Structure 1
Amino acid sequence: MKTARMNRLFGVSGNCFDVAIDHGMFNEKTFLGGIEDMHRAIRIVADARPDAIQLPPGTAPILQAIKGKDRPALVLRTDIANVYGTPLPRTLFSEVVDRPVEQGVVLDAACVVVNLLQLPDQPEIHHACVRNVNALKRECEIMGMPLMVEPLVMQDNSKGGYMVNGDIGQILPLVRQAVELGADIIKADPCDDVQEYHRVIEVAQGIPVLVRGGGKVSDREILVRTAELMKQGARGIVYGRNVIHNANPTAITRALMAVVHEGAAADAATKYLG
């Protein structure tokens, strides 16, 4: 069953575009822009037909209630953390929901995803994430469920809250740790120089790498960056804010699908933007 679920994600082209709409899980007011009405947000993205939509247990049924065989696959967010605000809370946590893989099976998910967080001077949160990954791995094997691990290197929150660190020197070992812990799919940070991203692909040892979108940027920038990342060997992307905060989520999804699945250059993909 794991192979069947992987095929639902990666399809005929062997690549995947997963749109993340799981931001409400993390109890941050600023994360809710564009997704206050989840029924509307999910419908808009689903109509653009990305390969998958990433959702937590509470809103995943909205996607799965859409009729027809062409709805995107579900990637189920299984963990919750309190590491994104400024200042950081006095006590940090990262823990998975109850029986996460069982919930994934019930919700007909194609994959479950869990964080592997690395914050400056916060080793206890990394330790919690390692425990989470370990707990999910065996259950995923028993249930035939692919495990997506999200190694996320973050900057000091005092610099402005949720900010990824594009230092490839820190990304590489965390990606490799995710692989060694048993990830079937890696959802990794972009690095500062995207032309170095082949090093991330190499350290992943053949495990498919989907690249996170990071902060909101212009349509042109996200298309150019995505095209280069695909050239570097990425198997796809997981973008959230660059889709749901876009003035036209349908158009940018279709443009990115052309880059991911057809190998379109950024200039060619802009035709979908109108």
Structure 2
Amino acid sequence: MSKGKEVRIARLLKAGRGLDIALDHGVCNEPSFLDGLEDMPGVIDRLVAAAPDAIQLNYGQADLLQLRPGRERPALVMRLDMGNPYNATRHRSMWAVLQNEHDPVLPAVQMDAACVVVNLFMLPDEPELFRQCVQNIARVRADCDRYGMPLMIEPLVMQAHGAGRGGYMVDGDAEKIVTLVRLAREMGADIVKADPTSDPKDFHRVVQAARCPVLVRGGGREDLQQVFARSRVLLDQGAVGMVYGRNVYQHANPSAVVSALMAMIHEGASAEAAWALYESGGAVRSR
């Protein structure tokens, strides 16, 4: 790994561990994802005060974080791609494209990001979408190597459209997740953002396949006690942190959720201790 990548990863992962709050949902073009994100400047203000390790944004919102006065702020993780698999309605054509096809990583360099992230979709009967993702990753990886920018790949194994709650939902099959995570590593991932396995105790297999830091993807909003309980098991299975979005910004007190998750990731807090911290309103950590 290049020195530039090492420096940026050190900004993203404190002592090798980290919490990345994902606020990049606007490019999904799905109205339900925007609940809680209507006032982006206000959301950023509250989350910066809560002091997670990183905030994940698209280029068009990155200024809200990076142009803040002072030097103490979460690291920026920049989303480089966009697609239509998250819509409740299935489209005739499924696609995933880079937001800047000419020089995709340059905007992240210009905005002083610590890392970039790109999807690797595996949807049933959508081989063309998968091929597009592979092409995107190959294009981005070359630029990441050139600029010394860490590459986070997000392998996403989905169930058939309409299964479960509608739309494409996560397939927690450990065998499928491990296989796709291994592919992400083969393509040069510096960090993997992976879905939790249906049985969290199988997640060590994902960590083994990645052979690089693994952050757990959060998905849709759930009961917080269940989120904390599952997160503790996943951390114990070898995850170095989380990339949570809706399970933070769609809850009543996002700052308290951040405090609880940071205690779990950096201090080894139990799920019960995290819940107690959340109920108490959390506490802003010193950075």
TM-score, length of structure 2 as denominator length? 0.93
CA shift for structure 1 position 31: 1.1
Matched position secondary structure for 1:58: helix
CA shift for structure 1 position 44: 1.2
1:216 to 208, 215, 221: 221
Q: 1:87 is matched with which residue? A: 89
CA shift for structure 1 position 162: 4.2
Pair 1:33-2:39 in alignment: no
2:137 to 133, 138, 141: 133
Matched position secondary structure for 2:91: coil
Cα pair 2:28 2:87 within 8 Å, conserved? no
* Distance change in 2, residues 1:247/1:162 (3 Å): farther
* Distance change in 2, residues 1:53/1:162 (3 Å): farther
Cα pair 2:116 2:152 within 8 Å, conserved? yes
Pair 1:4-2:10 in alignment: no
Aligned length: 272
1:173 to 146, 170, 179: 179
1:259 to 264, 279, 284: 264
Residues 221-236 of structure 1 aligned to structure 2 (within 5 Å): 221-236=226-241
Pair 1:115-2:84 in alignment: no
Separation in 2 of the partners of 1:30 and 1:223?
23
Cα pair 1:19 1:238 within 8 Å, conserved? yes
Runs of 4+ in 1 over 4 A off after TM superposition: none
Separation in 2 of the partners of 1:17 and 1:90?
36
| Uncovered stretches (5+) of structure 1, i.e. residues with no partner | none
CA shift for structure 1 position 270: 2.2
1:160-184, Cα deviation, whole Å (9 max, x unpaired): 1142111111101100000000000
Separation in 2 of the partners of 1:221 and 1:177?
30
Separation in 2 of the partners of 1:191 and 1:66?
37
Cα pair 2:84 2:94 within 8 Å, conserved? yes
Separation in 2 of the partners of 1:178 and 1:90?
27
Residues 11-30 of structure 1 aligned to structure 2 (within 5 Å): 11-12=14-15, 14-30=16-32
Matched position secondary structure for 1:157: coil
TM-score, length of structure 1 as denominator length? 0.97
2:73 to 71, 74, 88: 71
CA shift for structure 1 position 238: 0.3
* Distance change in 2, residues 1:59/1:102 (3 Å): same
Q: 1:184 is matched with which residue? A: 190
Q: 1:105 is matched with which residue? A: 109
Separation in 1 of the partners of 2:179 and 2:236?
22
Separation in 2 of the partners of 1:118 and 1:10?
27
CA shift for structure 1 position 83: 1.2
CA shift for structure 1 position 139: 0.5
Matched position secondary structure for 2:125: coil
Q: 1:145 is matched with which residue? A: 149
